[in-house]
Structure 1
Amino acid sequence: MKITAIRAHRVELPLHEGTYKWSGGNAVTIFDSTVIAVETDAGITGYGEVCPLGSAYLPSYAEGVRTGLKEIGPKLLGLDPRDLAVLNQRMDQAMRGHPYVKSGIDVACWDILGKATGLPVVTLLGGRFGADFKLYRAISQESPAEMAKRVHQYRAEGYTKFQLKVGSDPDTDIDRIKACAAELQRGDVLIADANTGWLMHEAARVVDAVRDIDVYIEQPCMSYEECLAIRRRTARPFILDEVIDSLAAVLKGQADLAMDVINLKISKVGGLTKAKQIRDLCQALGIAMTIEDTWGGDIATSAIAHLAHSTPPELLFSATDFNSYVTRSIAEGGPTRNHGRMAASTAPGLGVTPRAEVIGPTVVNITG
């Protein structure tokens, strides 16, 4: 089997709630997502999706996905898409860095491998643990009262884990955490995610002010070293996200006891192949994980579901269902939330088929 073509489609994903806000005054109203199709001479086509969280979150941006595909795509024609290690080596040789560009191709090739073997990707990633898994809900940065109302709303939808977007004025963030904590019921989990938004002195004030609240602190500062310093000043459980981008980063964090949980984003590390490597390392080291991506629709959410569902429940801190945040379904067969839980498809591959009328025309067309 050989890759004969790589095509990309640009699709806009509006949000149900209008705007998603996080640290630094950043906000997105319509997500710019890229659907990637990898075609083969066996008549099997695999699909992936990459949707950066704007251009100010990580070193990635939507148009960069499509531009990068034009650079590395021609160098992948003729490869067997089932040879995932070979494929990833070729991509890394063709372009240093830019893992988000490579992610959609890698995911599409896992989709092909599943379709070729007649197996769902969850089976290829290690097997399905249980019937489903828990989700978290991200709560966009608003006033303390409005965010507390969202906790109440989302609990009624079945969620029990709530990730608050903080990382702005420390006093307001303290009020946000306290207001939302007051809404919690027994068994609920609260995460204060600063998305690198605090300076060290601000983070120090916040973690001290919430020292008696049952809340997880996530990625308070920009650098690993700053986060580690704050970690050592608080007894609250600690999550690292933006700085966890490789096996080496996980090993360093484990050696320094820098975190209790990591956030593993598929496109941040370059696709399912490298995400699985990190997941398996965390499993061996006993590090809990939230498995997700930067954003996306049905295809990205499906990839999340397969990786999350193949992760031992005791190490799966949470996962996310981004396709429920947006107003457009871009593929048939996408996983759906059921009372705060989700399951991976049992169909071969990712189990999704893009809706041609939604994803629109081809904007990148790479053929031999």
Structure 2
Amino acid sequence: MKINAVHVWQVSLPLNEGSYRWAGGKSVDVFDSTLLAIDTDEGITGWGEVCPLGPVYLPAYAEGVRGGIQKLGPHLLGLDPREHAVLWQVMDDQLKGHPFVKSGLDMAAWDILGKVTGLPVATLLGGITSREIPLYRAISQRPAEEMAANLRSYRDDGYRRFQLKVGGDPDEDIRRIRACRAILEPSDKLVADANTGWLPADAMRVVNAVRDLDVFIEQPCLSYDECLSIRARTTLPFVLDENIDGLEPLLRAAHDRAMDMVNIKLSKLGGLTQARLVRDLCARLGMLMIVEDSWGGDVATAAIAHAAASTPVRNLFAATDFNGYVTHSFADGAPRRMGGTMCLPDGPGLGVTPRRDELGPPAFTIA
């Protein structure tokens, strides 16, 4: 089996809530997603998707995905997409870094392997531990009372795990955390995610002010050392996200006991192949995990579902149904939220089929 073409589409994903806000006044109204298809000489097609959270969150941006694929695509023609290690070696040889560019290509290769073997990707990633995947809901940054009301509405819809977007004014963040925790049940889970937005002094003010609450603190500061200094001075459970972008930083953080939970984003790591390595190591180290991506639609959400469904149940804090945040669906078979969970898609591979007639012609094709 050989790759004989790569097709790429740009897909716009407007948000149900109109906009999504996080630390530092950053926001997005319409997500710019890249959908791709890898065709093979045996008539099997694999699908992938990459959707950065705008250009100001991680070192990734939408136009960079498509530009990187234009550079990489010609080097993939003629390769066997089932040989993931070979595919990754070629991608690394031809484009240093830029894991977000490689993520969708890697995802599509796994989709092909699943279709060839007749197995879901979750089985190939280690085995299905659960077909019902717990979800968390991200609560966009707003005044405290509005965030609490928003959280309450999603709790009424069935969510039991929530991630508050904080990382702004520390006094307002303290009010946000307290207002939201106050309306939750003891069994509900709450994460206060600063997305690197606090200075160390501000972070210490917040964690000291909420130390009596049941709340996780996620990525309070920009640098790893700053986060580690906050971790050392709080008893609240700690999450790292932006600083964990590969095996090496994970190993360092594990050695330093820098966190209790890791946020695994597929495109931050370069796709399912690298995410599986990080996930399996986290499981062996006894860490909790959030399994998700930067953002995405139906295909990215399906890949999240497969990665989460093959994660040990005791280690999986939650996953994300990003296609439930946006107004545009473009694929059949995509996972959908039911209460506070989503189910693994049926069928081999990722189990989703984008509707080509709705997508229109590709932005470009490499063949």
Pick the TM interval, shorter chain: over 0.9
2: CA distance between counterparts of 1:33 and 1:226? Answer: 32
2: CA distance between counterparts of 1:359 and 1:295? Answer: 19
Displacement, 1:345?
Answer: 1.5
- Partner residue of 1:163? 163
Displacement, 1:128?
Answer: 1.0
- Partner residue of 1:192? 192
Displacement, 1:73?
Answer: 0.8
Displacement, 1:364?
Answer: 2.3
Alignment of 1:194-343 (within 5 A): 194-343=194-343
Question: Is the 8 Å Cα contact of residues 266 and 275 (structure 1) preserved in structure 2?
Answer: yes
- Partner residue of 1:102? 102
1: CA distance between counterparts of 2:211 and 2:251? Answer: 28
- Partner residue of 2:13? 13
Q: Which runs of 5+ in 2 are unaligned?
A: none
Bigger mean CA deviation after superposition, 125-134 or 14-23:
125-134
2: CA distance between counterparts of 1:330 and 1:195? Answer: 29
Displacement, 1:356?
Answer: 2.0
Q: Does residue 141 in structure 1 map to residue 127 in structure 2?
A: no
Residues 119-150 of structure 1: CA deviation (Å, up to 9, x unaligned): 11011111111331210000000110000011
Bigger mean CA deviation after superposition, 339-348 or 238-247:
339-348
Percent of aligned pairs sharing the same letter:
60
1: CA distance between counterparts of 2:332 and 2:131? Answer: 21
TM-score, normalised by the number of residues in structure 1:
0.99
Q: Does residue 363 in structure 1 map to residue 360 in structure 2?
A: no
TM-score, normalised by the number of residues in structure 2:
0.99
Structure 2 letter corresponding to 1:351: G
- Partner residue of 1:69? 69
Bigger mean CA deviation after superposition, 15-24 or 357-366:
357-366
Question: Is the 8 Å Cα contact of residues 140 and 165 (structure 2) preserved in structure 1?
Answer: yes
SS in 2 for 1:72: helix
Displacement, 1:346?
Answer: 2.6
Structure 2 letter corresponding to 1:350: L
- Partner residue of 2:28? 28
Bigger mean CA deviation after superposition, 124-133 or 28-37:
124-133
Displacement, 1:266?
Answer: 0.2
Structure 2 letter corresponding to 1:69: I
Displacement, 1:187?
Answer: 0.7
1: CA distance between counterparts of 2:341 and 2:276? Answer: 21
1: CA distance between counterparts of 2:221 and 2:27? Answer: 19
Residues 223-265 of structure 1: CA deviation (Å, up to 9, x unaligned): 1110000101111000000011111111111100000000000
Alignment of 1:76-91 (within 5 A): 76-91=76-91
SS in 1 for 2:251: helix
Q: Does residue 37 in structure 1 map to residue 37 in structure 2?
A: yes
Residues 157-178 of structure 1: CA deviation (Å, up to 9, x unaligned): 1100010000011111111001
Question: Is the 8 Å Cα contact of residues 11 and 358 (structure 1) preserved in structure 2?
Answer: no
Q: Does residue 130 in structure 1 map to residue 130 in structure 2?
A: yes
Displacement, 1:317?
Answer: 1.0
1: CA distance between counterparts of 2:91 and 2:244? Answer: 21
Displacement, 1:156?
Answer: 1.0
Count of equivalent residues:
367
